[in-house]
Amino acid sequence: WIFPKFLCNLAGCLFFINTYCSVAFLGVITYNRFQAVTRPIKTAQANTRKRGISLSLVIWVAIVGAASYFFILDSTNTVPNSAGSGNITRCFEHYEKGSVPVLIIHIFIVFSFFLVFLIILFCNL
């Protein structure tokens, strides 16, 4: 990583915001389409612009709040060069075995995937 450290943090933060917002909005769109097909009249009456904006704001605030951890986290890692000359600085490649933050991140990733996967699966049956 040749750029300043804060750019590594910013890139990681934006990566997670992009990933999880995409997944969350796909899940919400899937559920909305499911409701529109199974209960068309009730869904047409319940869907309002204000409700959509507030749900979008909740998703954005929750995910940006969760991803802000990556902006604060020290995401660079300096390792020896495999060629033997100097060091290499890496961005977001710093995993220590048995690290609690890494475990929490992986549990969150797996849980988020299965939550949205089950919503999409259920709504398409």
Render pLDDT for 71-115 as a digit per residue (tens, 0 to 9): 787 776 676 777 777 777 777 766 666 667 677 777 888 888 888
User: pLDDT at position 49, please?
Assistant: 79
Tokens encoding 121: 């699966």
CB-based contacts of 9-12 (< 8 A; 24+ apart in sequence): 9/70, 9/71, 9/72, 9/73, 9/75, 10/71, 11/91, 11/92, 12/70, 12/71, 12/73, 12/75, 12/91, 12/92
Contact predicate 55/41, CB 8 Å = no
pTM: predicted TM-score of the whole model, two decimal places: 0.67
Range list of H helices, 4-125: 5-38, 40-46, 49-72, 100-123
Contact predicate 83/4, CB 8 Å = no
Which residues is 76 bridged to in the sheet? 91
What structural domains and CATH numbers belong to the chain? 5-123 (1.20.1070.10)
b/e per residue 83-93 (b: at least 16 CB within 10 A): eeeeeeeebbe
| pLDDT, tens digit, 9 for 90 and up, residues 31-72 | 888 888 888 888 777 777 788 889 899 999 999 988 887 778
Position of tokens 């009730």?
42
